[in-house]
Amino acid sequence: MSIRENFVVPKRYNTIAISLMVVGILAIVGLYVTSGSKESEHEQARFWASLLQNSVYFLLVVNASMFFICATTLAWGGWQMAFRRATEAISAVVPVLGVICAAILLAVVFGGQHAIYHWSDAHHVEGDPTLLHKKGFLNPVFFSVVTVLTILLWSVLGWKMRQLSRSLDNNPLPTVEERKKYIWKNTVWAAVYIVVFSLTVMSSLPWLWLMSIDAHWYSTMYSWYTFASTFVAGVALIALFVVFLKNNGYLEYTTNEHLHDIGKFMFAFSVFWTYLWFSQFMLIWYANMPEETVYFKPRAEGAYSGIFWLMFLINFLAPLLLLMTRGAKRNYGTITFMALLIIFGHWLDFYQMVFPSPMTDEKGVTHVPMILYDFGVALGFVGLIMFSVGRALTKAPLLAKNHPFIKESLIHHT
């Protein structure tokens, strides 16, 4: 078979992507009719919480792809070069989802959805000492500026990294000096991205977007834990696209060795996620202070305990046991299954981060909403990601053949 350098979107692929998007739109319309258009603030919150959870989750998942690129670039890793274009294509969706996510977040903050963000209600904050104390951080202006700036920086820096990679396609670097310079340039831009990334996803942004839903409660570990959640799902997404491209006869230089290393990432970061998830839980459980345990009351013991334990099962036990052996990490079927499971599991993680607080009624009882709608919305976002990644894949050859590290990747051995 000849080398197939350029991706051609299969017809069925786009059909599936578009039908998933239609499902998503139907689910959003359904949600709007059943709850979003209602008078009650709590009914409306259910609609916006679903959009918020899905858009934030999928934005962070595709953004993890660019983090993967930059982290490996900074570490001078060469092994991922063989499938680097797949990760670049996934990260190219960040601007698309970023605009959607920013629009939803700003609509929630300025649209008066106080059942989601209590702190956005100026009147309510006046009578609440805790929120008054946090006002410098939790206010609509700060929130929107940080949100827009962050998404802009991710998009621009990601675009720069992809541009650097594509600039070599028709322009091989003949001398070692030029290659060194190119690697150095890559390193600098990757470092800038990592700094922005660590100041946002890894430290402060999930506080604003997700933790401030429970505005009285706080956990300094929260962002780091959110990052772990989205990074493992992001690596799973990369694995899915690599397997998809391999099965369609592309990426012929990507071998089981590369898949094995992606599997190791999925395994390792599943355990890392569990470590943070459990640490956050255990410290609060041990200290047993009411203002902290309030977060886990509905989640670990209340209405959401089923999701809580299901997460433990599919985000920790399943990857730990099923991805442990060498054979499993080299098997397309196992990797695909585990990647889907992990993406779903961390979607559930975000579900129980977002929903319990808006779903608490006036009497203080927490409900689990009809989750089928949220599945529908999630499928819509999956369709959008599929469609956009498919488009981005066609834009450049699938092998970065002039990159100085490409040989290291082709002879990669684990």
Partner 1 sequence: MAVKKFVVGNFDDEAVLFPAVKKVRRAGYKIHDVFTPFPIHGLDHAMGLRDTSLHTAGFIYGITGTTTAVSFITWALTIDWQLNFGGKPFFSLPAWIPITFELTVLFAAVGMVLTFCYLCQLAPFVKKDHFNPRSTDDTFVMALECTEKTNEAEAISFLQSIGAKEVKVDYKETGWWLGRYDKDTKRFEKKAEAVH
| Residue selected from 124, 326, 361, 394 as contacting partner 1 according to rule CB under 8 A | 326
Pair of tokens at residue 325:
């052996």
The DSSP string of 175-233 is: SHHHHHHHHHHHHHHHHHHHHHHHHHTTTTHHHHHTGGGGTT---TTHHHHHHHHHHHH
Spatial contact of 119 and 125, defined as CB atoms under 8 Å apart: yes
Nearer to partner 1, 173 or 294 (CB): 294
Q: For residue 413, what is the DSSP state?
A: -
Contacting partner 1 (CB under 8 A), which of 281, 347, 355, 381? 281
295 near partner 1 (CB under 8 A): no
Query: To 5 degrees, how large is the angle CA 386–CA 392–CA 396?
Result: 145
Residue 317 interacts with partner 1 (CB under 8 A): yes or no: no
Q: Which of residues 385-414 bind partner 1 (CB under 8 A)?
A: 413
Least distance CB 256 / partner 1 (angstroms): 13
**Residue among 22, 97, 18 nearest 52 (CA):** 97
Nearer CB in complex with partner 1: 300/371: 300
Tell me: does residue 282 bind partner 1 (CB under 8 A): yes
In angstroms, give the least distance from the CB of 37 to partner 1.
Answer: 43
CB of 206 to partner 1, least distance (A): 23
Pick 324 or 370: Cβ nearer partner 1:
324
Torsion angle, alpha carbons of 319, 392, 157, 254, to 10: 50
Q: Which of 76, 110, 142, 285 binds partner 1 (CB under 8 A)?
A: 285
Which of 75, 324, 365, 370 contacts partner 1 by CB under 8 A? 324
Residue 54 or 280 with smaller CB distance to partner 1: 280
Helices 176-200 and 41-74: crossing angle in degrees, nearest 10, is 150
286 binds partner 1 (CB under 8 A): yes
Q: What is the DSSP string of 143-169?
A: HHHHHHHHHHHHHHHHHHHHHHHHTTT
Choices 25-33, 55-63, 284-292, 334-342 (CB under 8 A): range interacting with partner 1: 284-292
Residues 235, 230: Cα–Cα separation, whole Å: 9
Q: Which residues bind partner 1 (CB under 8 A)?
A: 278, 281-282, 285-286, 288, 324, 326, 413
